[in-house]
């Protein structure tokens, strides 16, 4: 008899088996040419359409999909809604992808429902040169579990696209559009316009509203005709910086972000970690309002306390004296959030401490952009790699830093790099661990940070719900 851990591993291996059996060359190319998300829809239909049993919200974008999803789920949970949360990728534990009330799916349920989904999926007539996307199979397991557990609302984070994304096959009444940048050009491109067009596929025939976070000007220009058509068809659009505005008040007692939109006001109590995410908070508040209104719940005024919310791997403080903060910034746009956090930290610390940066950026990431944002604020820079053997670190980033006027060193082993930064830091300093998601996972493991619940038990703000 296999152990439960072995059964979980077997289920995960099966999830990737359909994808793995297709030759690599047939999986390469633009998503619109090689992916077949319709198989996920057929699987959901064969399972009895479990996704249609809950009020679903889908989230797309290039930066902040996960934080928008978590913030929306957290607000709804505090409003008394039984809410599911589907995110990807995971950082440490695969089961982090499927949560209910902030907690991951139990191993026993994952294995049991995974087996039932497997029995149906293997009966589908998938051609030899096509596959059911792994994330689609996980979404099917999640939808079946949410139906069983009677989730009222589920927030689904989509993958890199939307129009050709498996998770987008989940029927959703709401859409959240995080900032869109010209990324994944090899899969969604070849142009920035193509990326926006792919992600605007989140607006389906079943979608009735969209909460739109602040967008880069070019993305907003390209999405304009899609939003106009959506409105013309009866859809509601709430844009941050347009219909939705926010303000914040910071005092010795903490910080409050106030969000106002058509017919609603939200007051969110936050700590310094969430202040850089005010745009995200605003879009999530607009989404929470729409959900509560459609459910017939009080939706005009909402107060939430998010000081106990853990945006895992996103400006997450894992130690004090020195402060150690982990973030997954990989380009200039995401590094801007970290920069704003560091600026606020320096003000709070009255400029006493120094900032030490450990940076892990594979060859396909925007090292120059991250360095331009963070370089002026830090005192030491260490480049490192990750324990993920599939990532490539051939670029001489020490030389890249030097070309920008910053001295840097390199230590390939991520745990040694972290230890070296900690050894150099004084108790008043800040150690930033920044980089690709695999490095975020390495850093979380280094400090033995639990990644199950999205809520912090104890600590600042305590368990708010």
Residues 6+ apart with CB under 8 A from 457: 463
- DSSP result, 151-186: -SEEEEE--S-STT-GGGGS--SEEEE----S--HH
Query: Do 322 and 301 share a structural domain?
Result: no
Query: Do 133 and 27 share a structural domain?
Result: yes
Q: Is the dihedral of CA 105, 166, 170, 15 positive or negative?
A: negative
User: Residue 352: what pLDDT?
Assistant: 87
Distance, in Å, from the CA atom of 452 to the CA atom of 455, rounded to the nearest integer, reads 9
Query: Do 346 and 367 share a structural domain?
Result: yes
User: Residue 271: what pLDDT?
Assistant: 87
In-domain check, residue 457: no
Q: Which of 305, 327, 350 is the last residue of a domain?
A: 305
User: Residue 183: what pLDDT?
Assistant: 86
Residues 6+ apart with CB under 8 A from 463: 308, 455, 456, 457
Query: Do 223 and 359 share a structural domain?
Result: no
* C-alpha gyration radius of the chain: 22
User: Residue 348: what pLDDT?
Assistant: 84
Judge contact between 191 and 182, C-beta under 8 A. yes
The number of distinct structural domains making up the chain is 2
In-domain check, residue 58: yes
Its pTM stands at 0.92
Distance, in Å, from the CA atom of 212 to the CA atom of 237, rounded to the nearest integer, reads 7
Q: Which of 284, 305, 326 is the last residue of a domain?
A: 305
Task: CATH number of the domain at 149, please.
Answer: 3.40.1190.10
Lookup: tokens for 252: 């010795």
User: Residue 351: what pLDDT?
Assistant: 79
User: Residue 254: what pLDDT?
Assistant: 82
- DSSP result, 17-41: HHHHHS-GGGT-S-HHHH--THHHH
Q: Which ranges constitute the DSSP H helices of 300-366?
A: 332-348
- Beta pairing, strands 83-86 & 98-100: antiparallel
Query: Do 100 and 54 share a structural domain?
Result: yes
Q: Which ranges constitute the DSSP H helices of 79-191?
A: 107-121, 134-148, 185-188
Query: Do 72 and 11 share a structural domain?
Result: yes
Q: Which of 305, 337, 360 is the last residue of a domain?
A: 305
Per-residue pLDDT of the chain (465 residues; tens, 9 = 90+): 899 999 999 999 999 999 999 998 888 999 999 999 999 999 999 999 999 999 999 999 998 999 999 999 999 999 999 999 999 989 999 999 999 999 999 999 999 999 999 999 999 999 999 999 999 999 999 999 999 999 999 999 999 999 999 999 999 999 999 999 998 899 999 999 999 999 999 999 999 999 999 999 999 999 999 999 999 999 999 999 999 999 999 887 789 999 999 999 999 999 888 988 999 999 999 999 999 999 999 999 999 999 999 889 999 999 999 999 999 999 998 999 999 999 989 988 877 899 999 999 999 899 999 999 999 999 999 999 999 999 999 999 999 999 999 999 999 999 999 999 999 999 999 999 999 999 999 999 999 999 989 998 533 333 333
Task: CATH number of the domain at 362, please.
Answer: 3.90.190.20
Please name the helix (run of DSSP H) or strand (run of DSSP E) that holds residue 294, with its range, or none.
helix 278-294
Distance, in Å, from the CA atom of 234 to the CA atom of 207, rounded to the nearest integer, reads 10
In-domain check, residue 458: no
The neighbouring-strand residues paired with 302 are 266
Q: State which residues form the domain around 379.
A: 316-446
Judge contact between 307 and 270, C-beta under 8 A. yes
- Which residue shows structure tokens 């995410």? 277
Query: Do 221 and 266 share a structural domain?
Result: yes
DSSP state, 360? E
Lookup: tokens for 120: 């149906």
Strands (E), 306-436: 316-319, 323-327, 355-360, 380-383, 409-410, 430-435
Judge contact between 168 and 37, C-beta under 8 A. yes
Lookup: tokens for 453: 């619940």
User: Residue 252: what pLDDT?
Assistant: 78
């Amino acid at each position: 008899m296999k152990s439960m851990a072995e059964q979980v591993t077997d289920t995960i291996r099966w999830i990737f088996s359909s994808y793995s059996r297709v030759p690599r060359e047939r999986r390469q190319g633009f998503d619109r040419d090689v992916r077949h998300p319709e198989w996920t829809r057929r699987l959901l239909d064969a399972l009895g359409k479990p996704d249609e049993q809950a009020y679903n919200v889908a989230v797309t974008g290039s930066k902040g999909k996960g934080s928008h999803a978590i913030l929306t789920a957290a607000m709804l949970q505090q409003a008394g809604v039984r809410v599911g949360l589907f995110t990807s990728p995971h950082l440490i534990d695969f089961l982090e992808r499927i949560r209910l009330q902030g907690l991951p799916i139990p191993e026993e349920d994952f294995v049991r429902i995974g087996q039932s989904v497997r029995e149906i999926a293997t009966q589908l007539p998938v051609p030899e040169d096509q596959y059911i996307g792994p994330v689609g199979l996980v979404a099917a397991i999640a939808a079946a579990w949410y139906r069983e557990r009677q989730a009222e609302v589920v927030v689904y984070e989509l993958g890199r696209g939307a129009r050709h994304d498996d998770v987008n096959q989940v029927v959703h009444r709401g859409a959240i559009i995080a900032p869109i940048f010209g990324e994944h050009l090899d899969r969604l491109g070849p142009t920035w316009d193509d990326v926006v067009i792919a992600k605007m596929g989140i607006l389906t025939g079943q979608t009735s509203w969209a909460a739109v976070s602040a967008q880069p000007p070019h993305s907003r220009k390209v999405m304009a005709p899609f939003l106009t058509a959506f409105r013309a068809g009866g859809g509601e659009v709430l844009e941050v910086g347009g219909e939705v505005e926010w303000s914040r008040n910071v005092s010795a007692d903490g910080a409050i972000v106030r969000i106002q939109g058509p017919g609603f006001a939200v007051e969110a109590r936050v700590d310094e970690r969430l202040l850089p995410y005010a745009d995200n908070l605003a879009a999530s508040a607009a989404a929470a309002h729409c959900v509560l209104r459609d459910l017939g719940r009080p939706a005009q005024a909402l107060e939430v306390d998010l000081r106990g919310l853990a945006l895992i791997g996103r400006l997450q403080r894992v130690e004090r004296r020195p402060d150690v903060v982990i973030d997954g910034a990989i380009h200039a746009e995401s590094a801007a959030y970290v920069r704003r956090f560091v600026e606020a930290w320096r003000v709070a610390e009255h400029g006493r401490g120094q900032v030490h940066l450990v940076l892990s950026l594979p060859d396909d990431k925007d090292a120059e952009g991250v360095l331009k944002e963070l370089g002026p604020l830090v005192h030491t820079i260490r480049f490192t790699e990750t324990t993920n053997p599939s990532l490539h670190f051939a670029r001489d980033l020490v030389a890249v830093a030097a070309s920008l006027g910053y001295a840097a060193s390199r230590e390939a082993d991520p745990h040694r790099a972290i230890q070296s930064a900690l050894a150099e830091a004084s108790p008043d300093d800040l150690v930033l661990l920044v980089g690709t998601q695999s490095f975020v996972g390495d850093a979380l493991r280094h400090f033995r940070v639990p990644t199950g619940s999205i809520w912090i038990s104890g600590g600042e703000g305590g368990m708010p719900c």
